């Protein structure tokens, strides 16, 4: 843990309950107003809670749209978000107001890559169906009655093609892990990687052209207007019928209606999803699908990673209030 700050403590509003080590450092260095009940925030409560604050340490579920940013007390000079993504913050409104925004890049890579592999394996090997079968009491429909030669046959990952959309830090970490399973990696990215980062992966300048090779498609692209509902009916039609779709990036990358329809009719084999459009109010159609593995946004949910995220957010706040450039400034 870093050394305590010397200046008079700034008032810091922390919008959600954070790991104990992170809250301890925040309380040590700031007049930290915590949220021990972990009560989710509405725009009105965010504005009210920020009264008198010098900075806000916020989280992805906190929606700082233009109206909320405009209504923040004049004392608030910085938003340090406990996330890499900033799509919950209107960055243009923040810039117009002169509000500094920072994020926490670089510390979620391994945890998110591990979760992507978990989803690949669980979806390909029908782990969700098997787990539910074992939990069902004997005698009830769907209960496990013992081993059978054709029970829950899935897709073996070794020897298969993994197609990755977005070959940043997380995409490359997923590729490295997939190679250990004997998978061949294909990828599409805004720019081709240099050979040392590509590590033998096959580049596709046109992501649509890559889809035909995808036994597994893993999404690792940021949310932008260009990637909104990127996986739609037309692109699903390019996938092999045995394909597995995995998303640990942003829920908005997927057209839910298109993916649910494809899963329902067997147009593709399975999906493993950790993020959803409008989460936690995910499309109810997913809950009806046995071939969909659904997780509650666990990508960075390890003790090591969540501590690192909190410390990075505090590092940014420390630098800002010391008059230095925050290392992870977005705006």
Q: Which residues are catalytic?
A: 250, 279, 297
Q: Which stretches of 15-99 are assigned E, i.e. beta strand?
A: 31-33, 55-58, 78-81
Output phi, psi for 285, to 5 deg: -60, -30
The distance in angstroms from the start CA to the end CA of the chain is 27
Half-sphere exposure in the Cβ direction for 278 (13 Å, CA):
7
Q: Which of 217, 221, 238, 241 is nearest to 229 (CA)?
A: 221
Residue 134 falls in which region: left (phi positive, over 0), alpha (psi -120 to 50) or beta: alpha
Peptide bond preceding 226 in cis form (omega within 30 of 0): no
Residues 6+ apart with CB under 8 A from 176: 113, 199
- Residue 227 to residue 177: CA distance in whole angstroms: 25
Give how far the C-alpha of residue 71 lies from the chain's centroid of Cα atoms, to the nearest Å.
Answer: 28
Q: Which of 270, 280, 224 is nearest to 247 (CA)?
A: 270
């Amino acid at each position: 843990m870093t050394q305590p700050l010397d200046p008079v403590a700034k008032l810091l509003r922390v919008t959600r309950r954070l790991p104990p080590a992170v809250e301890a450092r925040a309380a040590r260095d700031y007049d930290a107003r915590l949220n021990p009940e972990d009560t989710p925030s509405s725009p009105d409560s965010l504005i009210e809670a920020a009264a008198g604050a010098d900075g806000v340490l916020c989280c992805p579920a906190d929606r700082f749209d233009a109206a909320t940013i405009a209504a923040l007390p004049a004392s608030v000079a910085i938003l340090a978000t406990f996330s890499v993504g900033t799509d919950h913050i209107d960055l243009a409104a923040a810039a117009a107001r002169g509000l500094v925004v920072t994020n926490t890049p670089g510390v979620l890579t391994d945890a998110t890559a591990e979760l992507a592999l978990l989803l690949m394996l669980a979806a390909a090997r029908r782990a969700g169906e098997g787990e539910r079968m074992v939990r069902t009491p004997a005698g009830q429909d769907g209960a496990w009655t013992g081993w059978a030669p054709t029970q829950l046959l899935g897709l073996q990952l070794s020897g298969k093609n993994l197609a990755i959309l977005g070959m940043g830090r997380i995409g490359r970490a997923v590729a490295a892990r997939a190679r250990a399973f004997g998978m061949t990696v294909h990828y599409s990215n805004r720019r081709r990687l240099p050979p040392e980062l590509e590590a033998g992966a096959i580049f596709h300048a046109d992501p649509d052209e890559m889809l035909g090779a995808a036994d597994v498609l893993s999404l690792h692209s940021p949310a932008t207007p260009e990637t909104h509902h990127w996986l739609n009916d037309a692109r699903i039609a390019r996938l092999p019928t045995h394909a597995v779709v995995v998303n640990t990036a942003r829920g908005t990358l997927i057209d839910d209606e298109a993916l649910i329809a494809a899963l329902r009719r067997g147009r593709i084999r399975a999906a493993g999803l950790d993020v959803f459009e409008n989460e936690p109010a995910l499309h109810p159609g997913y809950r009806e699908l046995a071939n969909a593995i659904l997780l509650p946004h666990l990508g960075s949910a390890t003790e090591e990673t969540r501590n690192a995220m909190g410390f990075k957010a505090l590092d940014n706040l420390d630098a800002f209030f010391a008059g230095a450039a925050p290392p992870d400034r977005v705006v």
